[in-house]
Amino acid sequence: MPLTGVLAALATVMLWGCNFIAVKYAVTQVPPFFVTALRFTMLTLLLSPFLRVPRDQIREIVSYALLMGVGHFAVLFYAIQFLDISTTGIVLQLGTPFVVLLAWLMLGETFGIWRMAGMTSAFCGIVILIGVPTVGVDVPSLLLLVVAAFMWALSSIRAKQMKNVSPFSLIAWMALIVTPISLGLSYLTETNQIASIQSADLLFWCSFAYMVVASSIFGYGLWYYLLNRYDVTAVAPYNLLVPLIAVTSGVMIMGDELTPIKIIGGGMILAGVTLITVRQIVLSRRARIVASTQGTAT
Could you state, in chain order, the average pLDDT of each consecutive group of 10 residues for the chain (298 residues)? 82 88 91 93 90 76 89 91 80 73 71 76 74 59 85 83 76 90 93 91 92 88 80 71 80 76 74 70 67 61
Burial of 287-296, coded b for 16+ CB within 10 Å and e otherwise, reads eeeeeeeeee
- Closest by Cα among 81, 96, 99 to 126: 96
The whole-angstrom separation of Cα 155 and Cα 173 is 14
Range of the domain at 265: 3-291
Examine residue 296 and state whether it is found in any structural domain, yes or no: no
- Closest by Cα among 272, 269, 223, 213 to 19: 213
Examine residue 297 and state whether it is found in any structural domain, yes or no: no
The pTM assigned to this predicted structure is 0.75
Angle (CA) 240-244-249 rounded to 5° is: 140
pLDDT in tens, 22-48: 999 999 899 999 999 999 999 999 988
pLDDT of residue 294: 63
The whole-angstrom separation of Cα 242 and Cα 274 is 13
pLDDT in tens, 170-196: 888 889 999 999 999 999 999 999 999
pLDDT of residue 295: 57
pLDDT of residue 71: 92
Examine residue 122 and state whether it is found in any structural domain, yes or no: yes
Q: What is the number of structural domains in the chain?
A: 1
The whole-angstrom separation of Cα 136 and Cα 44 is 38
The whole-angstrom separation of Cα 104 and Cα 187 is 40
pLDDT of residue 188: 93
Examine residue 195 and state whether it is found in any structural domain, yes or no: yes
Examine residue 298 and state whether it is found in any structural domain, yes or no: no
